[in-house]
Chains A and B, each alone.
Chain A
Amino acid sequence: MFLELDRQKPNKIALVDDERQITYGELILRSNELFTKLGKRGFVFILADNSIDSYTCYYMCLNNGLVPLLLSNSIDSGLLRNLYNKYEPDFIFLPSKRREELELTPIVEVGGFTLAKTAYNGTLLNPLLSMLLPTSGSTGSPKLVRHSLENLEFSAEKVGQVFHIDSNDAAIAFLPMYYTMGLSIINSHLRYGAKVVLTNRSLTERKFWEIIKEENITNLTGVPYTFEVLDKLRFSRMDLPSLKILSQGGGKLRLDLFKKFALLAEEKGIQFIATYGQTEGTARMAFLNPERNLDKLGSIGKAIPGGNLGVINSNGEEIKERNKLVEGEMIYKGKNVTLGYAEGKVDLMKGDEHHGYLKTGDIVRRDEEGYYFIIGRKKRFLKIYGLRISLDETEFLVSNEFGVECLCQGTDDKLIVIVPKIIEQKSVEQMDIRKFIENKTGIFHAAIEVNIVTEISRSNTGKILFSQTNIN
């Protein structure tokens, strides 16, 4: 059984959400009932929020050999249709109020959601394939990450070991479950019989902090932005007696905040655990032993149990020397390395392309003691407020919408969009572009800077020359 949930006491609370709670026994029962309504396997789009109903549908899939693609319940309608046409799912689980957006035959209503049959049938799936996640939840990229059952089981088991999760723990899951780390929090805690409190509330809601206290939350995991918020909310002054572990992932935390929370954790007698992960590695791949927080400030630490980190040089050869400071691209080996990508329906037939070996795309420094530090990203992705933004995708979206050539660059707190001044005598408004990107990606508009330039310089092979493109 998926995550060995049948080993847990059936009457123990498994999930709590903003409305109710269910036991391990009920979760299994409900997911089995849901499966009987479908009566067959297939490929399912799940437009999830952080609720018992959404997770039950997910669990039903994983436990019965259906393959889900997890998406946001508020995914843009156009992006959803794109994915729908491209991947042709057999079923879709979506908010009932969105039922009319596609041509569907409802099968059953589950709370505020509907599980429905689509017009498509029998998408061919590789037997290894168990779950799909988007590479970028925010731009609704059609590029997906293919996961095996082994990826998910291994990850849940090992992440649980990192945090010493047991049945007395209670985690707050506010990161979305369609986001790799959000899902990892839920799965790893259920794997060890803990309680998972799902919520769609944000840290700036009073109710969020009431839940933390009422549910005796022991584990809180956030992305760098979460820590900005915690800092802003004066976490130092908060009295949260049940809290044991504060864990961070989803990108690089500012060093001053890293230090602040490491010190605060010491003061409060809790653990601050920094981790590193990617969707391609089923979330967590490395963590820093909290005892080393202060002397290895900003480090992602070492590989999780059962995994291996390494550094390769520009020729792709692994640098074997230890006890020496080295730099290069970080690689990871482990059973949580996903099968590969899918860019269309036919890719769902593909098998394992990575064989447990992942080039992370992150440039790192490994110190004499074997601790890893991220220096920068090799590929063009930004992480803004924990949202993974593909620069290529954003360029594509803007170009399509406004019919302009568009360049994106930036840092992890600002997306810079460069567009030429006039396109076919039509002027482009900065505000319109900002609003559009905000709508499509969910990035706060103040994190988007639009620069209008006279023209975009290109090399003769058509490559954009950033250095020669003058920003006014």
Chain B
Amino acid sequence: MISIRKEILKVQNMTNLERYNKVFTDTFNIEVSELNDDFNTDEIAEWDSVTQLALVEALEDEFEIMFDTEDILNFKSYTEGRSILLKYQIDLEE
């Protein structure tokens, strides 16, 4: 499995939301301004099964959590991801 993250972002004094966004921008090779409610598997052609798992893995590494199968399968949008993370006590509003 490819891990695209080169460093743990946590040490860089970023907020949870910044870390979450950074994982997306690194995974999809995009600017943070492109992230919004429409950023999902239906709208983003690059969001396929390969990116899906790279994304999940990067988030697991970043926040030191482990998703359940259900949550991996449900992780289909930028917005949904935020509520999934909340289940693992990662609050992006903090």
The contact size tier of chain B is: 10 to 19
Chain B, 1-14, contact with A by CB distance < 8 Å: what is the 0/1 string? 11010000000000
CA distance A47 to B33 in the complex (A): 37
Question: Given known contacts A202-B49, A204-B49, A431-B29, is B73 in contact with A232 (CB within 8 Å)?
Answer: no
Is B90 located at the chain interface by the 8 A CB criterion?
Answer: no
Interface 9-residue window, one of A21-29, A80-88, A352-360, A443-451: A443-451
Interface 9-residue window, one of A143-151, A233-241, A399-407: A233-241
Name the interface residues of B22-74: CB closer than 8 Å to any CB of A: 27, 29, 48-54, 56-57, 68-69, 72-74
CB of A204 within 8 A of CB of B52, answer yes
Residues in chain B near residue A209, CB distance under 8 A: 73
Is A20 located at the chain interface by the 8 A CB criterion?
Answer: no
CA distance A444 to B1 in the complex (A): 11
CB of B69 within 8 A of CB of A237, answer yes
Is A17 located at the chain interface by the 8 A CB criterion?
Answer: no
CB of A204 within 8 A of CB of B72, answer yes
Task: Select from chain A the residue with minimum beta-carbon distance to B49.
Answer: A202
Residues in chain B near residue A233, CB distance under 8 A: 69, 72-73
Residues in chain B near residue A237, CB distance under 8 A: 69
Residues in chain A near residue B73, CB distance under 8 A: 204-206, 209, 233
CB of B4 within 8 A of CB of A446, answer yes
CA distance A413 to B48 in the complex (A): 17
Task: Select from chain A the residue with minimum beta-carbon distance to B56.
Answer: A232
Residues in chain B near residue A447, CB distance under 8 A: 2
CB of A232 within 8 A of CB of B1, answer yes
CB distance from A93 to the nearest CB of B (A): 24
Chain B binding site: helix, strand, loop or mixed by DSSP?
helix
CB of A444 within 8 A of CB of B50, answer yes
CB of B51 within 8 A of CB of A234, answer no
CB of A444 within 8 A of CB of B51, answer yes
CA distance A41 to B52 in the complex (A): 44
CB distance from A316 to the nearest CB of B (A): 38
Is A325 located at the chain interface by the 8 A CB criterion?
Answer: no
CB of B52 within 8 A of CB of A445, answer no
CB distance from B25 to the nearest CB of A (A): 13
Residues in chain A near residue B29, CB distance under 8 A: 431, 434-435, 445
Question: Given known contacts A206-B74, A445-B29, A447-B2, is B69 in contact with A229 (CB within 8 Å)?
Answer: no
CA distance A206 to B80 in the complex (A): 15
CA distance A413 to B2 in the complex (A): 7
Question: Given known contacts A237-B69, A445-B29, A447-B2, is B50 in contact with A232 (CB within 8 Å)?
Answer: no
CB of A229 within 8 A of CB of B4, answer no
16 residue pairs of the A-B complex, CB under 8 angstroms, read A204-B49, A204-B53, A205-B73, A206-B73, A206-B74, A229-B49, A232-B1, A232-B53, A233-B73, A237-B69, A385-B50, A414-B2, A434-B29, A444-B50, A446-B27, A447-B2
* Sample of 18 more A-B contacts, CB < 8 Å, known A234-B69, A444-B2: A202-B48, A204-B53, A204-B73, A206-B73, A228-B1, A228-B53, A232-B1, A232-B53, A232-B72, A233-B69, A233-B73, A238-B69, A413-B2, A431-B29, A434-B29, A444-B54, A446-B54, A447-B2
| Top-8 shortest CB links A-B | A202-B49, A446-B4, A204-B49, A444-B50, A206-B73, A204-B52, A234-B69, A446-B2
